[in-house]
Amino acid sequence: MHIVIVGGGVVGLSCAHALAERDANVTVCEAGTLGGGSTGRAAGGIRMQFSTPVNVDLSVASVPVWESFEERFGVDIDYRKNGYLFLAREAETADDFESNVEMQTARGVPSRTLSPADAAELCPELHTEEFVAATYCPEDGVADPHSAVQGYSQAVTDAGVDVRTNTPVTGLDREENENRWRVETPDETLTADYIVNAAGAWARRVGRFADVELPIAPRRRQAAVVEPERELDAMHPLTIDLDSGAYFRPEREGTALVGGHFADSDPDVDPDDFSESADLDWTIEAVERAADVAGYFGPETRVRNGWAGLYAVTPDHHAVVDEVRPGFVVAAGFSGHGFQHAPATGQCVAELCLDGAASHVDISSLSLDRFEGDETGLVERNVA
């Protein structure tokens, strides 16, 4: 069986690895360089604190791979379990915390609710008077996406996967009589039993080649590295103010990463034509919002650098992982969660292609047909 994967980011490479482990014949077509799209500009968060069971399950299934990545792939991904600290200003947000933690712990996640005073034990500069509740999971953390791509790419190459960089897919055609796909590239036409659309921010375009309309929009997201007025401890948790959208975490050499989801700050863009630098106005607002959360930031905070990348966003902020046409599997639209969910996604895609259904994680709620009605039943905040 020959499977062509469109997209050489961490999701596409994880799919290639899982398929190659089961002796499938795999070709990866990447329009640019491996990890050169969204993966290369990801912040690298790995968390289990999600508000829907399917996202929690994808995280729980992926974490063992991240924990053992150096042993499995021979590459240190700088995996650090700093924890994630979520903060609530509004009573409604705090009410959601209770139900979220109950669901998470039932699925094996060691998260817990905290008072603002308890949260200040983890974030000593926290403005406790601004918040009513918090949640925390010490097993959440961060890793380096570039190193993960390096590990996966070497592993799939060693396994015999045909990895083709600078090779965009320019057309797809289903040969119904033979149950095969024709895959057009600038170099040659390939034939495949299955196509895996792991093209991230370009997934909608690839879907249209197969006459599939995917509700996946490329959305520009920004981050900045700053020198805070007061240095964060190296193991300070990634701290997220859910009601304002601001987040921050420690970086190397006394710096901090700041970011956030602010109104009108992350518009849909052309994935082939967008600014990869952080906007000055956005950076100022991100630092000001971080200062409203904790006393690490203020007028003397200095900006080191910043960048912008792309999220592939669906209306409910959940991925599409589904065989949407015979032989055409989509693994895209992760809305910022693709890096952390890549290991489990790869296993599920391998099962869809080789077994006809996924068993590693119940991904039935990630089918494309959930968008046919008015309500999907899935709601996830778009956070770090």
Q: Please choose, from the candidates 358, 299, 293, the residue with its C-alpha nearest in 3D space to the C-alpha of residue 323.
A: 358
- 362 CB-side CA count, 13 A: 6
Are residues 370 and 378 in contact, defined by beta-carbon separation less than 8 angstroms?
A: yes
pLDDT digits 0-9 by tens, 137-188: 999 999 999 999 999 999 999 999 999 999 999 999 998 777 899 999 999 9
Q: CA–CA distance from 335 to each of 271, 316, 324 (Å)? A: 15, 9, 19
Whole-number pLDDT of residue 266: 64
In degrees, to the nearest 5, what angle opens at C-alpha 241 toward C-alphas 82 and 138?
20
Question: Where does 84-138+217-309 sit in CATH, by number?
Answer: 3.30.9.10
- Taking 70 as the pLDDT cut, the residues of the chain under it are 263-266, 374-379, 381-382, 384
Are residues 85 and 136 in contact, defined by beta-carbon separation less than 8 angstroms?
A: yes
Whole-number pLDDT of residue 176: 77
Other Cβ atoms closer than 10 A to 9: 29
Q: Please choose, from the candidates 130, 127, 97, the residue with its C-alpha nearest in 3D space to the C-alpha of residue 114.
A: 97
Whole-number pLDDT of residue 380: 72
Whole-number pLDDT of residue 366: 98
Q: CA–CA distance from 85 to each of 154, 246, 345 (Å)? A: 34, 12, 25
Q: CA–CA distance from 167 to each of 33, 189, 308, 372 (Å)? A: 9, 11, 24, 33
105: left (phi over 0), alpha (psi -120 to 50) or beta: alpha
Query: CA 91 to CA 10: how far, in whole Å?
Result: 37
Query: CA 201 to CA 276: how far, in whole Å?
Result: 14
Q: Return all residues near 71 (Cβ < 8 A) that are at least 6 apart.
A: none
Whole-number pLDDT of residue 44: 94
Other Cβ atoms closer than 10 A to 369: 10
- 2 CB-side CA count, 13 A: 12
Query: CA 208 to CA 299: how far, in whole Å?
Result: 48
Are residues 300 and 215 in contact, defined by beta-carbon separation less than 8 angstroms?
A: no
Whole-number pLDDT of residue 264: 55
Helix, coil or strand: residue 367: coil
Domain locations in the chain? 2-63+145-216+315-372, 84-138+217-309
CATH topology of domain 2-63+145-216+315-372: FAD/NAD(P)-binding domain (3.50.50)
Other Cβ atoms closer than 10 A to 361: 23
pLDDT digits 0-9 by tens, 276-308: 999 999 999 999 999 999 999 999 999 999 999
Which structure tokens are listed for 263? 């109104």
Which secondary structure element, helix H or strand E, spans residue 219, and what is its range? strand 217-227
